[in-house]
Amino acid sequence: MSAVNITNVTVLDNPAPFLNAFQFEISYECLIPLKDDLEWKLTYVGSAEDETYDQLLESVLVGPVNVGNYRFVFEADPPDPSKIHEGDIIGVTVLLLTCSYLGQEFVRVGYYVNNDYDDEQLRAEPPQKVLIDRVQRNIFG
């Protein structure tokens, strides 16, 4: 039996410009009181081939947690595009939402993210250098 069950995660502000903050409404239930905090993290996978390009966007502690139902909005800054290979900005990548208790990860939710230009002409004929202010992200559950 699990002490914490995730009951719902809703992606807010989606699709959105690449440089907008990420927002997730997270609902969960706690079945037994927890003395320590839950740690929620959001990680952006910058490259499928090299995890050194992964960016921890936010880490937040929630707790102590009593028995009951909870809901909060988890907000995280967007990834720093200068830390992503230019060739990996446009296309599909992954976001990882995790939760840990006492250093033990017990939830990992992955989302595909498609980053593409917000304009058909730019999609058809991409510029040499990525125009990050014209990139839109779309998160798929």
pLDDT at 1: 64
Q: Which CATH number is 58's domain given?
A: 2.60.40.1490
pLDDT digits (tens, 9 = 90+) for 68-99: 999 999 999 999 999 998 889 999 999 999 99
Shortest CA distance to 73 belongs to which of 138, 3, 9?
A: 9
Quote the number of domains for the chain.
1
pLDDT digits (tens, 9 = 90+) for 99-111: 999 999 999 999 9
Shortest CA distance to 46 belongs to which of 130, 113, 128?
A: 113
Q: What pTM was estimated for this model as a whole?
A: 0.93
Q: How far is Cα 109 from Cα 96, in angstroms, rounded to an integer? A: 6
